[in-house]
């Protein structure tokens, strides 16, 4: 990522946030903040000629959050799972849910919720993890 000398203009930042399809829910559950938005906006400006798909930037923000929070509270699992309900990209929704299932501290009730509301690979993955956790 190229270094920038000045903050991104607030109008440009708002435009990029809109283009990347971040919703207020991302802010409400703590996945993004102004510094994170400025960082991802700069990455988007630097890379959009190479990778213009907004889902890649949303996933990048999600992964950074997950990597920086090794012991994720249950509240975040709920919020992130709810967030996937509204994301426009089905592939991103599935990837994020799969990542939640993979987390060691993923609560049993979240796994059950996924198993009861999803089909296919996600359902099977949640059921398989539930079997390893239950006596």
- pLDDT the model gives residue 1: 47
pLDDT band at 3 (very low <50, low <70, confident <90, very high): low
- pLDDT the model gives residue 70: 87
- pLDDT the model gives residue 5: 46
Q: Is the pLDDT of residue 42 over 70?
A: yes
- pLDDT the model gives residue 135: 64
Mean pLDDT of 109-121: 96
Write a three-state SS string for the chain.
CCCCCCCCCHHHHHHHHHHCCCCHHHHHCCCCCHHHHHHHHHHHHHHCCCCCCHHHHHHHHHHHHHHHCCCCCHHHHHHHHHHHHHCCCHHHHHHHHHHHHHCCCCCHHHHHHHHHHCCHHHHHHHHHHHHHHCC
């Amino acid at each position: 990522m190229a270094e920038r000398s000045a903050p991104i203009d607030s109008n440009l930042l708002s435009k990029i946030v809109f283009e990347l399809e971040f919703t207020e829910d991302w802010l409400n559950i703590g996945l993004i903040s102004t510094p994170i938005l400025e960082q991802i906006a700069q990455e988007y400006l630097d890379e959009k000629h190479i990778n213009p798909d907004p889902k890649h930037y949303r996933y990048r923000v999600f992964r950074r959050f997950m990597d920086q929070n090794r012991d994720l509270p249950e509240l975040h699992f709920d919020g992130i799972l709810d967030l996937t309900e509204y994301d426009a990209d089905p592939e991103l929704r599935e990837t994020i849910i799969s990542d939640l299932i993979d987390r060691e501290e993923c609560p049993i009730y979240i796994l059950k919720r996924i198993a009861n509301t999803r089909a296919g690979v996600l359902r099977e993955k949640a059921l398989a993890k539930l079997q390893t956790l239950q006596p």
